[in-house]
Structure 1
Amino acid sequence: MRQWQLIAAIAFFLFAYLPAQSQDCPGLSVEGLWLDPFNASLVHVLCQNTNFDEIYSYPSWHILDDSGTLMGTEEVMYFGIADWSHHVIELINPWPDEPVSVPVELELWVGFDEALMCSYQMEFVPREWEWTGTGNQGCLPVVCTVFGYAGGEGVEVGLELLDGSQNVLLNADWSTEASNNFWVQSDSMCLSQFECFTLDVSANTADYLTVSLSDGSHSSWLQHWTQTLDASAASLDTTFTLDLYGGNCDASGLEGSNLNLSVVTIYPNPVRSNETVYIRDGHSDLDLQISLLNALGQEVRRIPLGSSSFQAPAIPGLYWVMRQQKTALPLLIR
């Protein structure tokens, strides 16, 4: 009897310390794997589960390179996977600025990373959205959506999207009925990866608004870019700069710029995400163009002329506030 107990105990410890082994995930397919067009630290997974007997409770996708080194994980956000599902993996290190495809392994862990369910050997093409059919480095089909709160008065919303040659891709004006909440959406359009776009947004009486670019070929719940503006923090009339994967918007003058802290100040600095940042100019030159650039030198927003404040970006990191006369100041978003 003792011999069998000893054998059972040994077997238990052997199996307990074996490395996790994946199995098949029937009905679960990966339909898209791509690098975020605006954040090189995020990889997106679009999957579909047609097996409703298994929802893969509390899922987390992990991505590994071809040598088995972990590159990033997903924070658990869902109870399970049912039908179509969109997931975001945060990379340990930002993806290099190159479109070259590489082999990767995609693992699905469940139960808050307690068990490995299955893995997929894939070719990661960073700049391709497989379900759109536009190909590697092809254009991105999107619809532009604006929603917000207008305090019951109704609101007039204006949108204008221009490419780098100032061609108008979208010019829309909407007037909503008196209502607390409003929601408007454009027709589908396809954004090139090799253009610098500017998106002008205005809303005359809104308290706040959210403007987003959502998928235009699959489902509008799949968002590629979103920004929320609060009228109590800054003007809702704002120009955003959109540069898919970077390298197309001119940020000349940032390097070696004259940092004259006695002339222009920004405060508070550091500042929390989405809080108000104030600009003080010793020469009262607020009629000069002011741009907000990320750490890579990509312009992400243009501050309206005459504005003395703006809303901090939602994504933490180092930014630069650059004035038309080449004065650039660092701004840290926490």
Structure 2
Amino acid sequence: MSLGKTFRGCGRRLIAGAATVTGGPGGAAFTGVMTCGMVHMCAWCASRILAARAAYAQEAAEAWVANGGGIVMSAHTLRHYARQKFGTLRKRERGGLVAVLHDSWSKAYGHRSGKMWQQAKAVHGVIGVLRSFEDTWGEKSGFHLHFHAMWFTARPLTEAEVEAFGETLSARWGTAVVASGGYSVSKAHGVRVDHIDVTEAGAVGRYLFKDGDHARVEPIDGLGAEMAFGSDKLGQTAGRLGPFQLGDAAATGEAAHVEAWQEREYGVHGVRKMYLSNGMKARLAALGVVDDRTDAEIAADDGEGRVPLALLPRDTWYQHVVPIKGRRLALIHAAEAGGAGSVRVLIESWGLVWGRDVLPAPEPETAE
């Protein structure tokens, strides 16, 4: 149902002469196949990227607090209707909800915010911000786009100071949304300041990067998956679907879901999943919090501790694995369950010949 060739080739198109099934304590994976690195679209790549970003955000919050700083969490939303389009940030096409969202942020807190925001930052002790993008879709309500933000303050704010900061955020957001072409937002719903325990394992990651909650695929598991995908979307109970839920629905071929999925696929191009304000990367690095990898680099990282289990030559891969739904995932599950032995049993259950159609992985070389 998707339009992009890069996304459609992820996990399917070979970049080597064969696909290799690998396995180990950290799960199983394929090597020798393309990864798209599209965090907004691809469940396989998003599982790795969101876990890495969630871990970074959690580490950043803990390090900042441990060094005497404060953290304030907030959510920034738009008033929306089903008739409104997702939109795009592409040049000469910029428009729709995604453009209103980004323009509102820029005018309220970004490079177009003016001196009043700079003064407000000084009053509230704001040093910087880490922001994440999130979206859901509902057949009756349409697209719901919003930002979550983690504000870094020079010191922990009192309850009264947090409330005052929330008032400032809300007032500026409301004005900026209207100025950006959006509908006026209520004081109660435009900006919400949330109180979470940043020392709780995974709390920050779950807050900022939870839209992959239905995309739990290996090799990310355990704490990494919990941080990235820990909490179900509230939108699910309100008739809204998260990105990968929408993808599942579109895969059934239902027209409304396919249209929404393709509209989102076009519109999410160029949208940053995570944004870190100027100077914060260096400040966090000084505290020992560093992850300079791009989304593509994270997606292509096969992790440590995995060993090759089986090689699937080009003809076998394209004729007997890729075209048949569920076989790639079945290979991953077999590798996790019992290593090379389980992979061989699965391969032979498909009528393929071990040693001809699928080759055992070569023995690792040992130093003499």
TM-score, normalisation: structure 2: 0.22
The structure showing larger relative contact order (alpha-carbon pairs under 8 Å, at least 6 residues apart) is: 2
Q: Which has the larger radius of gyration?
A: 1
Higher helix residue share = 2
TM-score of the pair, normalised by structure 1: 0.24
More strand by share: 1
